[in-house]
Structure 1
């Protein structure tokens, strides 16, 4: 797909900072990557984070959120938390299910933990490909 210019030019740290700043809920961002992942993994990570932050803005009634991105020996990990009302369900609707499908296309997984009353924690695990 087409990547935003900031992602192509400056990588995930800058691109995620940009979308976090646009979120209607204050987002604390932490990015700890030794190098840039493969463009396809970088694009899917950006898209996933963007969609999840939009969901927080639209549905969570949260006051704060965190977005953490880090590398393990074999995976790129993305975790987004909010202190909202919870109740997000990947089996209901198409948004989270679509993200899970997109991640699955590169052997990634999406885990949603969102009990009624909150908080919501969404973790995406993607294969690390440099």
Structure 2
């Protein structure tokens, strides 16, 4: 005799999509992007140690619009992943599980990552990093 239940076959098919759920996915994506950014950092370090000709190559890339877009995306991924980690740390401490608290933390992560990324780039340009 089989018992009929009204449970979904997969819980992911019937869950209401939330910003918290989306940020969980984005947190994983930014983690992967940071691995790719680490390759860029390694290229920069190797080029710096290899001499002026090698450094000129990476400088040409990072000075181009595509290079700056990649660096901007790397900066955002780094900041967003850091703030997501802080959000998870708050949860690990046992706080922020209420619906309003969870939404507030999620929105703060999104707004904070965008704001901090823009602040970092404005400061970098003001300090002469746009040469």
Normalising by the smaller structure, the TM-score range is under 0.3
Q: Which has the higher helix share?
A: 2
- Pick the structure with greater CA Rg: 2
With normalisation by structure 2, the TM-score equals 0.26
Q: Which has the higher strand share?
A: 1
With normalisation by structure 1, the TM-score equals 0.27
